[in-house]
Amino acid sequence: MYLKELFQELYENYGSQYWWPANSKFEVCIGAILTQNTAWKNVGLAIKNLKKAKLLSAEKMQSAEESKIAELIKPSGYYNQKSKALKFFCKHLAENYSFDLEKMFGKPISEIREELLAMHGIGKETADSIILYAANKPIFVVDAYAKRIMGRIYGKAHDLDFDSYDDLQKFFHENLKPNARIYNEFHALLVQHAKLYCKKEPSCGKCFLKKKCEFARSGK
């Protein structure tokens, strides 16, 4: 099953997912940091708290006490580590771009990614989410859902380590033309499919991909 075919099947069944839900690019960045190791509903609560406290801007967050931010983002979990990451991100914007995200996003993808990965609390998935959803640049975001689905559908059909972030991202990049809109939609569709069918304990019998999935066909 080719990636284009997989995308089409998912899109025809679920339609557009309208990701990333946010009112600004800065909010996307904050959401990407907060969503690590937690459900999106918890991130929504944390962002709601930040908005209520009028701290959802790089300038205001930069000047706020880290302890105050930590208290506001408690619903997202790991709030002490995440508040530190948020402060570091805002400090970087202040010192290097005068709080102007567009200046940072005007750089090539590789440079933005290198900068983000050098920041406290930002790993590959978070960095790539910021680049794709906030900067609107074509880089595929790999998460646990993508690893699970791709590993089950393709199994050993490709000489790939589906648990490897870099290998799986390379697989998407080599088999799809660089297109931020498609990457955005594809990632969101994989998340939706993982939540409905391709769970840790999969519902293969009800899945519309079962005839094209190596895992489902194997009956494991």
| Residue of 156, 168, 85, 147 lying closest to 121 (CA atoms) | 85
Three-class secondary structure of residue 78 per DSSP: coil
CA 139 to CA 113: how far, in whole Å? 10
pLDDT tens for each residue of 138-171: 999 999 999 999 999 987 666 667 789 999 999 9
pLDDT tens for each residue of 28-84: 999 999 999 999 999 999 999 999 999 999 999 999 999 999 999 999 999 999 999
pLDDT tens for each residue of 79-136: 999 999 999 999 999 999 999 999 999 999 999 999 999 999 999 999 999 999 999 9
DSSP readout, 113-130?
HHHHHTSTT--HHHHHHI
217: confidence class by pLDDT, cuts 50, 70, 90: confident
CA 129 to CA 142: how far, in whole Å? 9
Distance separating the N- and C-terminal Cα atoms of the chain: 19
Q: Which CATH number fits domain 25-134: 1.10.340.30, 3.40.190.10, 1.10.3720.10, 3.40.640.10?
A: 1.10.340.30
CA 179 to CA 199: how far, in whole Å? 28
Give me the pLDDT at residue 2, please. 85
Give me the pLDDT at residue 214, please. 86
Give me the pLDDT at residue 157, please. 60
Residue ranges covered by each domain of the chain: 3-16+141-218, 25-134
The whole model's pTM is what? 0.95
- Architecture, CATH, for domain 3-16+141-218: Orthogonal Bundle (1.10)
Give me the pLDDT at residue 220, please. 61
Give me the pLDDT at residue 3, please. 92
pLDDT over threshold 70, residue 184? yes
Residues 6+ apart with CB under 8 A from 49: 72, 73, 75
Give me the pLDDT at residue 1, please. 61
Give me the pLDDT at residue 219, please. 72
Q: Taking residues 184-211, what's their average pLDDT?
A: 96
